[in-house]
Amino acid sequence: MTDIDYARYDRIRPIRWTGDALELLDQRKLPFQTEYVSASTSDAVADAIHALIVRGAPAIGIAAAWGVVLAARDVDADNGVDALIKLEPAMQHLNAARPTAVNLAWALARMREVLHRAGDDWREVLKREARNIETEDLAANHEMGAMGAALIAPGSGVLTHCNTGSLATAGFGTALGVIRAGVAEERIARVFAGETRPWNQGARLTVWELQQDGIDATLIADAAASHLMKSGAVQWVVVGADRICANGDTANKIGTYQLAIAARHHGVKFMVVAPSSTVDMATASGDQIEIEERDPAELLSHRGERTVAEGIAAWNPVFDVTPHELIDAIVTERGVVERPDSMSMQVMFGPRFA
């Protein structure tokens, strides 16, 4: 196990429950402004998820769970089942905020589940479950950090994509957690982060987050990834996930698929790190995943300033699917699935249920 000082990585928290509101670190403004916005209704939480004020698959699940707690304040019900019926519109609104990351639907399913069994203390039950979802995510990240780092040979270089750190989770991170653990154990000697156009999660969030921990990281243009791999500087690509299907196909930030193709070509290993809340055994393969498309304005402008000639069309899918054949290891808190396929996924996560 990693002998790692986790407290050192506990400085950034994207989500804070104050007791009567949810404070969300506005990730649109990082790295230059650290500002929390307060959401006091479930609609405000749904809007914040949609606007990427809070982002990253586990973090949006946690935020949605707290959104249900906020929605409960406007509901009069004698027991959990009654509350469940009355809370359903708010839950559906939260679920519709973003379509690709399954953690959102997963967290809402957990909230529904506890309501089924709750009596007149159903509001307290909801609060407890939201807190559980958050603390379990942090614990999962610590476990995945140790397991993922153990796969990496000492002295290796890694490339990561998007932001999978404390900002995207309850803390520590998934792929970034593996990188933190790997650096602490001196397995990882070099960290590269792709800028992750068009929203620049890598450039604005990941390298800033690592800088807070004193971990050196080198930013590259997304288009430099193959050139980097060819140079021999990286031995692993380590990424997170928004949805992992029953056959191991994995949706993650746009650009992940081309990194996996380039990695295979260059003999670089490819690791996906995600909690089991990201595993969707009800979806057979990546072909069935809804890929979110966002406003083309994200491509046509930079920080509000138009950079492309008027009249130009743009297409902006923000996730892609990496086929399982290109993945060397999926790391979850339940264990590592090497060379994932339907069989090895079933062994780890149980039978496909739809």
Residues catalogued as catalytic: 242
From the list 291, 203, 302, the residue with the least C-alpha distance to 252 is 291
Q: 27 or 118: whose CB is closer to ligand MRU?
A: 27
From the list 163, 183, 121, the residue with the least C-alpha distance to 255 is 163
**Interior angle at CA 132, CA 128 and CA 134, nearest 5:** 120
- According to the annotation, is 98 in a ligand binding site? yes
In DSSP terms, 317 is beta-bridged to 293
Q: 84 or 253: whose CB is closer to ligand MRU?
A: 253
How far apart are CB 154 and ligand MRU at their closest, in Å?
25
What lies within 8 Å, CB to CB, of 172 at 6+ separation is 6, 9, 10, 138, 141, 142, 145, 165, 166, 180
- CA 349 → CA 55, 56, 118, 328, 335, distances in Å? 26, 22, 27, 17, 10
In DSSP terms, 194 is beta-bridged to 220
In DSSP terms, 220 is beta-bridged to 194
Q: 157 or 177: whose CB is closer to ligand MRU?
A: 177
Six-digit token string for 130 = 């939201």
How far apart are CB 162 and ligand MRU at their closest, in Å?
4
Under 8 Å between Cβ of 191 and 179: yes
Six-digit token string for 308 = 């492309």
- According to the annotation, is 173 in a ligand binding site? no
- According to the annotation, is 253 in a ligand binding site? yes
The helix (run of H) or strand (run of E) holding residue 133 is helix 122-149
Distance of alpha carbon 177 from alpha carbon 182, whole angstroms: 8
What is the CB neighbour count within 10 angstroms for residue 208? 18
Q: 2 or 166: whose CB is closer to ligand MRU?
A: 166
- According to the annotation, is 201 in a ligand binding site? yes
How far apart are CB 261 and ligand MRU at their closest, in Å?
17
Q: 169 or 283: whose CB is closer to ligand MRU?
A: 169
Which residue's CB atom is positioned nearest to ligand MRU? 240
How far apart are CB 340 and ligand MRU at their closest, in Å?
17
Under 8 Å between Cβ of 129 and 114: yes
List residues near ligand MRU by CB under 6 A.
55-58, 101, 162, 164, 168-169, 174, 201, 240-242, 252-253, 318
How far apart are CB 277 and ligand MRU at their closest, in Å?
10
DSSP 226-292: HHHHHHT--SEEEE--SEEETTS-EEEETTHHHHHHHHHHHT-EEEEE--GGGEETTS-SGGGPPPP
Q: 174 or 322: whose CB is closer to ligand MRU?
A: 174
Q: Is 183 helix (H, G, I), strand (E, B) or coil?
A: helix
Q: What radius of gyration, in Å, describes the C-alpha atoms of the chain?
A: 20
How far apart are CB 176 and ligand MRU at their closest, in Å?
8
Binding residues for substrate, as ranges, are: 55-57, 98, 201, 252-253
